[in-house]
Amino acid sequence: MKKILLFAIVILALFLSACGGRGKASSVLAGGDTLRLEYAANLCIVQYPDYMVATVRNPWDTLKTLHTYVLADKHKELPAQLPEGTVVRFPLERLVVYSVVHGGLLAELDALDGVRGVCGMEYFKQPEFVERCRQGLVADCGNSMSPDIETLIELRPDGIMLSPYEDNGGYGRVGKLGVPIIECADYLETSPLGRAEWMRFYGILVGKAAEADSLFATVAREYLDVKRQASLAGRRPTVLSDLKYGSAWYISGGNSTTGRLYADAGADYVFAYLPNSGSIPLPFETVFDKGQQADYWFVKYNQQADKTYRELEQDYAPYARFKAFKERHIYGCNTGRIPFYEESPFHPDVLLKDIVKILHPELLEGYEPKYFSNLAAD
């Protein structure tokens, strides 16, 4: 009996470690080859002879699985025996994309021919999307929170890419269309490279696996090289992030991609002590107490003209009490004209270069920041 129990424990351990030994819940079968993912903690992909199984870990309860996908090549006969999961026949050729983040990646992978609809067309500002919309090749499916169901039905999509949220309740009528919903949980990763590595999964879905693998290899190599250079800097300036909205200031935790980015840039993020991996609302007084002496302050905003120090003070007078304001060390990104959200999630290497060049101007000789620049005086 003891031998049987020991054998069962060994089998269970092998089962749980099949996706890299990172504690991921998975229903993978024996005999598959795990695709090596170096940084993504919430994704596991296993290759079998006739299909692949992609398992997305539940970011809100890491002992559970959010979704399991069985990926089968649409140009081959569907295997008679498949494991449980949502069957996706790839490459997807009639996609609906909810977010500019994933739209930007698909444009870079030269996979826009497979995108037939988007939500929030006004946010898709890449010339390729604008032109395809003008030609009627891409339909506007309305707001992502309440998409136009009739338009979705007319498009006959073979996949819908959207960002999941906790306790979503099945995505309402969209979830009942019988269309595979690709839950893009990349934004819930806790490291910049972890999020970027999801491009390898998306590359498989649209038939651009080799291109996505090559792109990620370049991104990771560049990121790690810049991180290494930043680690050699002689000082670690303190950093504050973002602005107050309404009555709260939404602060990224130390385990968020933002927190990790600042650490990799050779900075001490003033809210690094917060354990959360997402953002939490804090009152202005708490942020001021922790961030008033921060050396640098990075902000994002969306408006027609670039924000100035004078305008920032007009927006909220207490901003002028921060050290970074007084010393003119506030760097802003106007997302209304700069493709920050379209590019930076899958190009953390470029974003890291921006932050490092600003914090450590002696490094990265000849580099000019792409996203952030110092606010104008007036």
pLDDT digits (tens, 9 = 90+) for 201-233: 999 999 999 999 999 999 999 999 999 999 999
pLDDT digits (tens, 9 = 90+) for 324-341: 999 999 999 999 899 999
Question: Residue 47 in contact with residue 72, Cβ under 8 Å?
Answer: no
The predicted pLDDT at position 27 comes to 42
| Tokens at 255, concatenated | 């385990």
**Cβ(270)–Cβ(294) under 8 Å?**
yes
Q: What is the pLDDT of residue 35?
A: 87
Taking a C-beta distance cutoff of 8 angstroms, is the pair 184, 95 a contact?
A: no
Q: What is the pLDDT of residue 21?
A: 38
Average model confidence (pLDDT) across the chain: 90
Hey, what amino acid is at 77?
E
Residue spans of the chain under pLDDT 50: 1-18, 20-28
In this predicted structure, what is the pLDDT of residue 272? 96
Q: Provide Rg for the chain, Cα atoms.
A: 22
Beta bridge partners of 279: 252
CA angle 274, 278, 283 (to 5 degrees): 60
Distance of CA 212 to the CA centre of its chain: 15
Q: 193 φ, ψ to 5°?
A: -70, -30
User: What crossing angle do the helices spanning 348-359 and 257-264 adopt, rounded to 10°?
Assistant: 50
Q: What is the separation, in whole angstroms, between the first and last Cα of the chain? A: 80
pLDDT of residue 7: 40
CA distance 230 to 360: 8
* Two structure tokens written together for 62: 């890491």
**Token pair recorded at residue 27:** 């229903």
Find how far residue 101's CA is from the centre of its chain: 7
Q: Which residues pair with 250 in a beta bridge?
A: 281
What domains sit in the chain, N to C, each tagged with a CATH number?
20-90 (no CATH), 234-374 (3.40.50.1980)
List beta partners, residue 68. 55
Give me the residue label for tokens 């069957």.
Answer: 87
Point out which residues pair with 299 in neighbouring strands: 332
Distance CA 159, CA 95 (A): 5
pTM of the prediction?
0.89
Q: Is 235 exposed, middle or buried (0-12, 13-18, 19+ CB in 10 A)?
A: exposed
At 236-270, the pLDDT tens digits run: 999 999 999 998 999 999 999 999 999 999 999 99
